[in-house]
Structure 1
């Protein structure tokens, strides 16, 4: 075998395959693959906030349980009419979306949120 081709194959095995695996895992988390297909809704009070990329997260107190809710990237929140101030600790929010497919995990991805009686669609093209 050509020594150059031999080195290229080893490069692919040693570096490219692990990188591809990491990329696929990141896509699975930041897409919808980790979430169930079932529609889910909860209402709670914001107790913690982390906004920014790759997506924001709010933590809600829902009847004594803590739920982490993925909201949109900054541009998606803005497009939905959400401002950072609207995610204030102590504010009540209703979230509609999909919960984690892992049993017992209190994590969900929001499709839309209702704050102060107004609905904010993060994914307006998605049927829910």
Structure 2
């Protein structure tokens, strides 16, 4: 996968980034769905890519890292954390092939494919079609 340079330029979303990092590193982590909404064009998709690549890390050293200043938090987390599985759906995306996020059944299969990338297929019961 190509390096996304836009993520290198992403800045100043410390409060939300810290919120996501705290949720992921609570013990045990809460079972939550985060819903991000806003007007089109203000950076929601870039923010989600940023969170997915840089903030969705879990570490056993969280008590040592928790009080790190915002500007250093992600660097410290990257040193000691491991990636957690992430799946997301853009309900505003246009349908394309099998990906139809506005249709419930298709959206579930979109999530299933994303989680299978993280080797989490056992969360979904197999159907006769999958066998």
- Relative to the length of structure 1, the TM-score reads 0.22
| Higher-RCO chain (CA-CA 8 Å, sequence separation at least 6) | 1
Compare the two structures and name the one with the higher strand fraction.
1
Q: TM-score normalized by structure 2?
A: 0.22
